[in-house]
Structure 1
Amino acid sequence: MAFLSRMKQSFGSTFSFFTDSWSELKKVKWPNRKELTSYTLVTVITVVFVSIYFTVLDLGISELLRLVFE
């Protein structure tokens, strides 16, 4: 009997979680199309610059190690 009450309690908390999550999502101010486009552009540009930075850093360290160990 204790098992069934625990199952009921866990399902109740799961449904409560989804209900609370849905109500919180209704409070969110979603970006409009222009904001979303600008945010996406900033994200893509940032990822490109960080990728270039780490690529150059990796190539520099690799070249330095090649010079040291040869």
Structure 2
Amino acid sequence: MQRIINFFRDVSREMKKVSWPKGKELRKYTITVLTTVIFASVFFAVIDLGISSVIRLFIE
């Protein structure tokens, strides 16, 4: 039981050392991540549609 208590004390100490982003930074990083994910999703959807069309041309 003492090991578990020590573990959580250590976690608490380490969490106080963490440099958390401020609100403005957090918004900036969130927008960057969402933009990147949307771009990658659209890019791969277009590539997938293109490859599917080429394959359909050869099959028919």
Please give the range of the TM-score, normalised by the shorter of the 2 chains. Answer: 0.7 to 0.9
Match of 1:33 among 3, 23, 29: 23
Q: How large is the Cα RMSD of the aligned pairs?
A: 1.4
Offset of residue 69 of structure 1: 0.9
Structure 2 length-normalised TM = 0.84
Match of 2:42 among 38, 46, 52: 52
Match of 1:38, SS?
helix
The runs of at least 4 consecutive aligned structure 1 residues that moved more than 6 Å come to none
Gaps of 5+ in 2: none
Structure 1 length-normalised TM = 0.73
How many residues are matched?
A: 60
Gaps of 5+ in 1: 1-10
The letter of the residue matching 1:57 is I
**Once the two structures are aligned, what percentage of the paired residues are identical?**
47
